[in-house]
Amino acid sequence: MSVWSQVVTPADGQAWVTGTSAGIGRAVALKLADEGWTVWVTARSADKLEALAAERPGKIKPVAADITDAAAMVATVDAITAEGPLALAILNAGAYAPMRAQEFDAATAKSTFDVNLTGTANGLDPVLKHMIARNAGHVALTASVAGYRGLPRASAYSATKAAMIAMAEALAFDLIDLGVRISVINPGFVETEATAVNDFEMPFVMSTDAAAKRIVEGLKKPGFEIAFPRRFALILRTIGLLPNQAYFWVMRKMMGWDRNVD
């Protein structure tokens, strides 16, 4: 059976989801618990994790840690695997700070890189070591449709999500032969604390519960990418095929920007 067709279940082991203090990660953890998984949840806020665990007693296990701390990620995976095999890992933690060129700030960009890209790598390291040793498991990275091409106001964010998509693709070449499935999750706009800062109308925006359902159901299906809403992902992929100048023109029109810098 192809690794792309492998579907892990609660019978295969435990699940781990990062970025679970709020938003998509929190909703995914609850959805997995409702489907019978023992779900370990990680974020920096111990209080929020305890509150999440209280919603599904015995099914959700909190372990507070910062994904930018590589040693903490190793310790977290060690704690999980001491209780049993880790069958499913969803590296979901992320940061979003919209920036236009006039507001570009290296410190903000670095913070986004540290969480979205380095933080993901910190989690991948111990997860892949565990799963490759077992020749089994499913790891998923939460990237974004913003990684297809650079989007307005998302210089740092689009950069990290494009890198995450490429990272997952590059790892897939080896993992295909090692019994480990890797997926990339590319959501569109989802109603979260992060997207609440957007001051423009978000097309095809979804609730966190709807997004969690798409993710959990998508992980059960063959394939590499889970992208939603499908129409929005298709629109962005199609626009992304345009030559550069045409792409910039179309995206500026979509944002309602005129030719002058505002």
Quick check: 261 pLDDT over 50?
A: no
**Region of poorest pLDDT, from 133-142, 200-209, 213-222:** 200-209
Question: Residues with catalytic annotation?
Answer: 157
Q: Which residues contact 68 (CB under 8 A, 6 or more apart)?
A: 114, 115, 118, 119, 122
Q: Tell me, what's the pLDDT at 258?
A: 55
| 124 token code pair | 């991948």
CA-based torsion, 74, 186, 171, 181: positive or negative: positive
Q: Tell me, what's the pLDDT at 114?
A: 97
Quick check: 128 pLDDT over 60?
A: yes
pLDDT digits (tens, 9 = 90+) for 66-97: 999 999 999 999 999 999 999 999 999 999 88
Is 40 within the bounds of a domain?
Answer: yes
Q: Which pLDDT band holds residue 7 (cuts at 50, 70, 90)?
A: very high
pLDDT (mean) for 234-246 = 92
Looking at residue 116, what DSSP letter applies? I
Cβ contact 175:124 at 8 Å: no
Question: What average pLDDT does the chain have?
Answer: 91
The share of the chain scoring above pLDDT 70, in percent, equals: 91
Q: Identify the CATH number of the domain in which residue 190 sits.
A: 3.40.50.720
Is 75 within the bounds of a domain?
Answer: yes
Q: Tell me, what's the pLDDT at 178?
A: 96
Is 217 within the bounds of a domain?
Answer: yes
Q: Tell me, what's the pLDDT at 169?
A: 97
Q: Tell me, what's the pLDDT at 96?
A: 87
Query: Which CA distances in Å does 33 have to 53, 176, 194, 206, 214?
Result: 10, 28, 24, 21, 15
pLDDT digits (tens, 9 = 90+) for 95-122: 988 888 999 999 999 999 999 999 999 9
* Helix axes of 23-34 and 208-219: crossing angle, nearest 10 degrees: 50
pLDDT (mean) for 196-210 = 67
Q: Which residues contact 167 (CB under 8 A, 6 or more apart)?
A: 117, 120, 121, 124, 141
Entry pTM: 0.91
Quick check: 238 pLDDT over 70?
A: yes
The residue that leads in pLDDT, 173 or 207, is: 173
Beta bridge partners, 228, equal: 187
3-state secondary structure at position 204: coil
Query: Which CA distances in Å does 178 have to 138, 172, 203?
Result: 11, 10, 39
Cβ contact 20:46 at 8 Å: no
Owning domain of residue 39: 3-255
Is 262 within the bounds of a domain?
Answer: no
Is 118 within the bounds of a domain?
Answer: yes
Is 39 within the bounds of a domain?
Answer: yes
pLDDT digits (tens, 9 = 90+) for 160-197: 999 999 999 999 999 999 999 999 999 987 776 655 45
Between CA 201 and CA 204, with CA 108 as vertex, the angle to 5 degrees is 20
Query: Which CA distances in Å does 96 have to 19, 117, 142, 171, 207?
Result: 13, 12, 13, 25, 17
Q: Which pLDDT band holds residue 214 (cuts at 50, 70, 90)?
A: very high
Quick check: 40 pLDDT over 60?
A: yes
3-state secondary structure at position 15: strand
For 158, other C-beta atoms within 10 Å of its C-beta total 19
Q: Tell me, what's the pLDDT at 199?
A: 56
Q: Which pLDDT band holds residue 200 (cuts at 50, 70, 90)?
A: low
Tell me how many domains the chain contains: 1
For 240, other C-beta atoms within 10 Å of its C-beta total 14
Is 91 within the bounds of a domain?
Answer: yes
Is 260 within the bounds of a domain?
Answer: no
Among 48, 44, 95, smallest CA distance to 72 is for 44
Residues 17 and 1: their CA atoms lie apart, in Å, by 26
Q: Which pLDDT band holds residue 254 (cuts at 50, 70, 90)?
A: confident
